[in-house]
Amino acid sequence: MNLQISQRAAQTQGLVMTGHMQQAIALLQLSNTDLQRYIEQEAEENPFIEVARSDRALPSLPHVGGRGTDADDATGRIADHPLSLYAHVAAQFDLMFHSPQDRLIADRFLEALDENGWLGEPLEEIAFACGLDMTEAEHMLHAVQAVEPAGLFARTLAECLALQAEDQGLMTPLFRAVLNNLPRLAAADLTGLARVCACSMDDLRATLKQLRSLNPKPGADFHIANLSEREPDLIVSRGATGWKVELNRSTLPAVLVDEESAAVATQDKRAREYVGERLGVARWLRRAVEHRNQTALAVGAEIARRQAAFLEHGPAKIAPMTLADVAQAIGVHESTVSRVTTGILMVTPQGTMGLKRFFSTALAGDADGEGGASAAAVRYRIQKMVAGEDPANPLSDDAIAQMISADGPVLARRTVAKYRDMLHIPSSFQRKRQGKLNGM
């Protein structure tokens, strides 16, 4: 057998996450309020950074660059900033998912994460949006549920507690049996619970003590700005040629670099290295903040353009829209749009809303292919119909489905039931019973 060693050269394409890209991503995740707090912290440590309100027009989109070590130093301090739940999970996803396709799917799950850490959308809806079958969606759900703290991305209370019990090594047959019978526990029926779990009362009490040590809302401990008290980041108003979006400059911080002081300080040879390092950080931060502002403005403007009907008529007219739609329109990656829309609020004629609320999947139209609507718009219609119904004769899911299908997207009864559950609306039977109780 003749063995030979040879060398071959080949070219491959791949996505490399550079230091500059990571720095830009870190700032994209901050709201105006968080950005202000971060810049003020930087200014305390850097004599060449001054913080001011942004009262001038922003320059054209700059390249985010700077000396590598200086930018890395600033990025490290961004990491020390109190993280939101979204930023905390996104940082773990950066390490968990190396395939760009898997990362996009993981980001779609991240969009559905509510402030308590639960999955706020049905898995079926996420699977449809990502083009997955349910087996693939379940597999990805298990993957994202591996993040810390345990319990995130749960769909039910039992699943949230089970994830934590598995993580802490508490899961036993008895613990599993208790989780399968949480309604009895909620009703304080300990005798019945011990009976169905086939255990003694002492064993049950020991298990319940472990259960109480778990956190039913694992996402609630993270830094979350109070939306009702926060000023919006973007402002939508009607202009001469249509809707226009502006940055809220009353809350928008600007980074000023004290070049004159730096020039004086560099005359001292002993301080030259320190001045160069601090000046590099200041210049990088200024460019990075400008890049973040331009990106937020571009995303907000594209959303306003696509949601003109909502701005004019309200939530019933919210149009189907995905991250990919906006990303393609403004020429950025989907993950960039996902990060920008997480912490940013926009004040509209219909109220102040987080940008994430504008994204919704499309439902099928009528037989002629027209009348398509977004899932968000349909959920709003269901909510309004229930609010206006006769309490003595509430609308059934079938009736609601028929009424919506008559003049809009074709809707199945099970879809109405699913959306009703998402809106925490009881069934028609429960609503009728509650109506009778209220009447008494």
Residue 5 has pLDDT above 80, yes or no: no
Mean pLDDT of 256-262: 87
How confident is the model at residue 75, as a pLDDT?
A: 43
Decide: 268 and 261 in contact? Cβ < 8 Å: no
User: How does strand 345-348 pair with strand 234-239?
Assistant: parallel
105-109, 111-115, 181-185, 297-301: which range is least confident on average? 111-115
Residues 105/107/112/117 CA torsion (nearest 10 deg): 120
How confident is the model at residue 223, as a pLDDT?
A: 52
Give the whole-angstrom CA distance, residue 48 versus residue 402: 65
How confident is the model at residue 84, as a pLDDT?
A: 67
Closest by CA to 335, choosing from 80, 105, 124, 56, is 105
Mean pLDDT of 52-72: 46
How confident is the model at residue 61, as a pLDDT?
A: 34
Decide: 149 and 218 in contact? Cβ < 8 Å: yes
How confident is the model at residue 62, as a pLDDT?
A: 35
Over residues 328-381, the pLDDT tens digits come to: 999 988 888 888 887 788 888 888 888 888 887 777 554 443 445 777 788 888
User: How does strand 234-239 pair with strand 242-247?
Assistant: antiparallel
Decide: 386 and 431 in contact? Cβ < 8 Å: yes
428 — pLDDT class (breaks 50, 70, 90):
confident
Tokens for 376, please give them: 């968000």
What average pLDDT is seen over the chain? 79
Residue 144 has pLDDT above 80, yes or no: yes
104 — pLDDT class (breaks 50, 70, 90):
confident
Mean pLDDT of 52-67: 46
Residue 63 has pLDDT above 50, yes or no: no
Residues 44/47/49/53 CA torsion (nearest 10 deg): 60
Burial (CB < 10 A; 0-12, 13-18, 19+), residue 373, is: buried
Give the whole-angstrom CA distance, residue 302 versus residue 330: 8
67 — pLDDT class (breaks 50, 70, 90):
low
How confident is the model at residue 81, as a pLDDT?
A: 43
Question: Which residue carries 């499309």 as its tokens?
Answer: 362
pLDDT > 90 fraction of the chain, expressed in percent and rounded: 15
Give the whole-angstrom CA distance, residue 257 versus residue 273: 17
* Amino acid identity for residue 369 in this structure: G
326 — pLDDT class (breaks 50, 70, 90):
very high
β-strand partners of 236: 245
* Half-sphere exposure in the Cβ direction for 63 (13 Å, CA): 3
Task: Give 432-439's long-range contacts (Cβ < 8 A, gap of 24+).
Answer: 432/391, 432/392, 432/393, 432/394, 434/391, 435/391, 435/392, 435/394, 436/392, 438/391, 439/391, 439/392
Residue 1 has pLDDT above 70, yes or no: no
How confident is the model at residue 126, as a pLDDT?
A: 84
Residues 36/37/40/45 CA torsion (nearest 10 deg): -140
Quick check: bond before 216 cis, omega within 30?
A: no
Residue 48 has pLDDT above 90, yes or no: no
How confident is the model at residue 162, as a pLDDT?
A: 92
CA 149 vs CA 144, 166, 216, 291: distances in Å = 11, 12, 12, 32
CB atoms within 10 A of CB 382: 24
Domain ranges of the chain: 118-216, 234-358, 375-439
Closest by CA to 185, choosing from 213, 159, 165, 204, is 204
List the alpha helices (DSSP H) in 82-197: 85-96, 100-111, 123-130, 134-144, 157-168, 173-179, 182-186, 190-196
Over residues 394-427, the pLDDT tens digits come to: 899 888 988 888 877 788 888 888 888 877 788 8
Mean pLDDT of 204-232: 76
Vertex 147 angle, CA 145 and 148, to 5°: 125
Tokens for 42, please give them: 């930087």
Vertex 134 angle, CA 133 and 139, to 5°: 105
Q: Rounded to two decimals, what is the model's pTM?
A: 0.57
Residues in the chain: 440
Over residues 113-131, the pLDDT tens digits come to: 887 889 888 888 888 877 7
Residue 81: phi and psi, rounded to 5, are -70, 145
CA 170 vs CA 143, 161, 202, 365: distances in Å = 21, 10, 17, 48
Burial (CB < 10 A; 0-12, 13-18, 19+), residue 374, is: buried
How confident is the model at residue 369, as a pLDDT?
A: 39
What are the counts of helices (DSSP H) followed by strands (DSSP E) for the chain? 21, 6
Ramachandran region of residue 198, left (φ > 0), alpha (ψ -120 to 50) or beta? left
Residue 290 has pLDDT above 60, yes or no: yes
Region 375-439: CATH code: 1.10.10
56 — pLDDT class (breaks 50, 70, 90):
very low
